[in-house]
Amino acid sequence: MPFANTEIPGKFQAFLAQRGIRMTEQRRAILNVIETAKKHLDAGQILRRARKLDPSIDRSTVYRTLGLLKRHGLIDELDLMHLDGEAHYYERKLNRDHIHLACLRCGRITEFVSDLFESLKEQVEKECGYRIAVARLEIGGYCSKCRT
């Protein structure tokens, strides 16, 4: 469940328009689904929801759109420890990065923001000489309720 939506929906569309990327009926539907999602969705779930807005949308269009959004840094792709199958999960990128914790017993997903994480990324950029585009910290473990 990505963080409270403090963003105005429609941001994606504005961003892409500014870069001269063509807006289609299908893209509008997919962007809408992702922007308003209250949890992490995989490609199949995105497809099903988008089809409620535009029933003609094809699976491959979803994948192509996810590729587009990834390339432009608008969404992040997650494994969430592949607790159920091999699909990847997507969420819109917000101002601030966050960490994902997945409980290996109950499957609960927790999000966490940390200044230490920001410092760590800075350290990596400096000491490894990388310019970071995506930073994914995913943790598998046992939540307070499931700890033995």
Partner DNA sequence: ATCCTATTGCGACTGTGTCGCATTAAGATG
Partner DNA sequence: CATCTTAATGCGACACAGTCGCAATAGGAT
Partner from a copy of itself, Mn ion, DNA, none binding residue 58, C-beta < 5-8 Å depending on class: DNA
**Which positions touch a copy of itself (CB under 8 A)?**
79, 81, 86, 99, 101, 103-104, 110, 112, 114, 116-117, 119-121, 123-124, 127-144, 147
Between 8 and 128, CB nearer to Zn ion: 128
Partner from a copy of itself, DNA, Mn ion, none binding residue 112, C-beta < 5-8 Å depending on class: a copy of itself
- For residues 1 and 38, give the distance between their C-alpha atoms in angstroms, rounded to a whole number: 5
Q: Which ranges of 4-75 does DSSP label H, i.e. alpha helix?
A: 11-18, 25-36, 43-53, 59-71
**Which positions touch DNA (CB under 7 A)?**
17, 20-27, 42-44, 54, 56-61, 63-65, 67, 85-88
**How crowded is the C-beta side of 27, counted as CA atoms within 13 Å?**
16
Sign of the four-CA dihedral 39, 86, 111, 10? negative
- For residues 53 and 70, give the distance between their C-alpha atoms in angstroms, rounded to a whole number: 22
Partner from DNA, Zn ion, a copy of itself, none binding residue 106, C-beta < 5-8 Å depending on class: Zn ion
Partner from Mn ion, a copy of itself, DNA, none binding residue 120, C-beta < 5-8 Å depending on class: a copy of itself
- For residues 126 and 31, give the distance between their C-alpha atoms in angstroms, rounded to a whole number: 34
